[in-house]
Structures are given as structure tokens and as C-alpha cells.
């Protein structure tokens, strides 16, 4: 079975989560990160000696509709991560160096970014080694999404990026990227009215939020340029006019990547 890893990037509020949930419903075998990771864990790392309390917990989560796997063999899982840690040590080291130099960023935000990055790398590692569990993995909180926001310094040019990316080209980068964007006024209004808040936006004034969005959009444009420099296909899609105008376009883009290597 041909498998593909697709990253969705773009500023908070651009519609990444809504799009990948819609694509998962549209296409059999395309799975979002919250769905295929529990499937992998329950298949490869299930502890056979699950206690009664763990089974009850599983039943509770099932009834509540939560995608949580209990009874995971944590010793086996830790051993797996330890054996493959070299595959993302390079990324984490760069992230520590980059974030430590951001004096204006709050330490809480820095720690959350590192924690999120580590989680994403672990999920990608699981997907890479057990990818026959899904034909297409749809990554929302993706490695590419944090590439310049949390990992690489602002002054990283294309030449530096190509050199940095070479050791992890095959293990970390996706088969394709969908970059969602919208005009900054619409984006600002959406963020102000939605319930889910991004960690980096907490306690920001309106002026600071607009400034933050402008910075992120600039960085995502740079990310697009860098990804293309190592021949990763990128589809850039405006989400200002509603999902119906672009969802089929995104589906066709992923399908073309899938069919090229079938």
C-alpha cells in the first residue's frame, strides 16, 4: 500500500483543523493525527495484562466519544522512542537554540512549543515505522508548521536551510504540504470570535495580535520557499471564501501525490 504524509500549515484561524476533518470524512484511508496515532498504539504497543480499572477507563472514554487509548505498554513504547531518538535529535537541538535566543518570548510559550514539537516528532516517527496503518496521514500540528516559528532562526536563508534539512530529509519532511492563508483582517476577526485560543496569543492586545499574525504570515511564506527548495510539493490555498471553494482542490492535490507513486 502506498502511504503519504501530508502537512497542513498556516496561521491559527486559517482553517487547518476544519479542512483535515472534512478530508478525512471524504476519503477512505485518509486519517487525521488524533485517529491514526491511537490505532498504531493499540496495534503495536498494547499491554496484554490490562487491569480491570484500565478496561473500565477505556469503556468510559469510548462512551464519551474520546479518542484515547488506555493500556499502552509504556516500557515498550519508551524503548521504541529511545532506539529511534537520533532521527529527531537534530531538530530538537536546533529548537532549543532558537527559542533560547528569543528574549521577548515568554518562557511558558517556549516550553509549550518544545513540548508540542517533541510530540509531533514522536507521532511522525510512529507513522513512518507503522505507516501501513493509514494510506494518508493528515498532520495538523505539523513539523513544517513549526519549522520557522519554533525551529529555525529568522535569518536562515535557502542555502542554510538545504544544508540543515539534509540529515532529516527522508525521515521528517512530508510528501506534500497544503498552505492555508487568508487576508489579515478576516483572520483577525476569526481569532477574536472563536473559543479555542492559541497559546502564543494569550494576553495579547489587539495591536500585538495583528503584529504577531503579520510575523507568522511572513514566516509561513518563507517556509513555503524553503520547502520548495528541497522539492516538496506545496499547494497554497486561500480560505477566505469558505471551504466549498477549495476542498476538492486540496483533495485532488493529495490524490495526485498518491497516484504518482502508486
pLDDT in tens, 149-187: 889 998 899 999 999 999 998 889 999 999 998 888 878
Residue scoring higher pLDDT (190 or 156): 156
What local confidence, expressed as pLDDT, does residue 261 receive? Answer: 54
Highest mean pLDDT among 25-34, 56-65, 237-246: 25-34
Averaged confidence pLDDT in the chain: 86
Neighbours of 237 (CB within 10 A): 20
pLDDT in tens, 63-118: 776 666 777 888 999 999 999 988 889 999 999 999 998 887 788 888 988 999 99
Sign of CA dihedral 38, 44, 47, 50: positive
Domain encompassing residue 15:
4-260
Total count of domains within the chain: 1
- CATH code: domain of residue 78: 3.40.50.300
| pLDDT at residue 243 tops 90 | no
For residue 199, the model assigns a pLDDT of 56
pLDDT of res. 65 = 67
Amino acid at each position: 500500500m502506498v502511504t503519504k504524509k501530508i502537512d497542513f500549515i498556516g496561521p491559527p484561524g486559517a482553517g487547518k483543523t476544519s479542512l483535515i476533518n472534512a478530508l478525512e470524512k471524504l476519503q477512505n484511508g485518509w486519517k487525521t493525527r488524533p485517529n491514526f496515532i491511537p490505532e498504531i498504539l493499540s496495534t503495536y504497543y498494547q499491554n496484554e495484562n490490562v487491569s480491570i480499572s484500565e478496561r473500565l477507563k477505556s469503556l468510559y472514554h469510548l462512551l464519551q466519544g474520546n479518542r484515547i487509548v488506555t493500556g499502552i505498554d509504556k516500557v515498550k513504547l519508551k524503548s521504541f522512542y529511545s532506539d529511534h531518538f537520533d532521527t529527531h535529535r537534530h531538530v530538537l537541538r536546533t529548537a532549543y537554540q532558537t527559542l533560547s535566543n528569543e528574549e521577548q518570548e515568554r518562557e511558558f510559550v517556549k516550553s509549550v512549543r518544545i513540548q508540542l514539537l517533541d510530540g509531533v516528532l514522536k507521532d511522525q516517527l510512529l507513522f513512518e515505522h507503522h505507516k501501513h496503518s493509514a494510506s494518508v496521514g493528515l498532520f495538523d500540528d505539523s513539523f513544517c508548521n513549526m519549522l520557522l516559528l519554533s525551529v529555525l532562526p529568522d535569518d536562515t536563508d535557502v542555502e542554510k536551510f538545504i544544508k540543515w534539512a539534509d540529515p532529516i530529509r527522508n525521515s521528517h519532511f512530508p510528501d506534500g504540504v497544503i498552505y492555508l492563508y487568508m487576508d489579515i483582517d478576516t483572520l483577525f476577526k476569526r481569532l477574536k470570535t472563536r473559543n479555542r485560543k492559541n497559546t502564543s496569543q494569550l494576553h495579547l492586545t489587539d495591536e500585538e495580535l495583528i503584529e504577531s499574525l503579520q510575523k507568522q504570515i511572513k514566516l509561513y511564506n518563507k517556509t513555503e520557499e524553503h520547502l520548495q527548495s528541497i522539492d516538496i510539493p506545496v499547494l497554497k490555498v486561500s480560505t477566505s471564501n469558505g471551504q466549498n471553494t477549495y476542498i476538492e482542490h486540496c483533495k485532488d492535490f493529495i490524490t495526485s501525490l498518491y497516484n504518482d507513486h502508486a
